[in-house]
């Protein structure tokens, strides 16, 4: 039973680390996209990015 709990805890830890990495990736993508939008601050470039 103890071994099973350790495996479960390890999986939770791994899922958590994956989630943090995922959030960081999304944040970086938003920062990059935000920079692009600020460089071309008109509706057409915004629509082409979100399309």
Checking if the pLDDT of 51 tops 60, the result is no
Q: What are phi and psi of 19, to 5 degrees?
A: -65, -45
Helix (H) or strand (E) holding 50: helix 43-50
Neighbours of 36 (CB within 10 A): 13
| Angle between helical axes of 43-50 and 2-39 (0-180°, round to 10) | 150
Query: pLDDT tens-digit profile of 30-49?
Result: 888 888 767 666 656 556 66
CB-based contact 36:49 (threshold 8 Å) = yes
Task: Quickly tell me which residue has 């470039």 as its tokens.
Answer: 45
Checking if the pLDDT of 15 tops 90, the result is yes
Please give the pLDDT value at position 3: 79
Please give the pLDDT value at position 5: 83
Please give the model's pTM, rounded to 2 decimal places: 0.52
Checking if the pLDDT of 13 tops 80, the result is yes
């Amino acid at each position: 039973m103890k071994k099973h709990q350790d495996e479960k805890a390890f999986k939770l830890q791994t899922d958590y680390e994956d989630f943090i990495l995922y959030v960081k990736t999304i944040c970086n993508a938003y920062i990059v996209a935000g920079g692009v939008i600020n460089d071309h601050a008109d509706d057409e470039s915004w629509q082409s990015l979100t399309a």
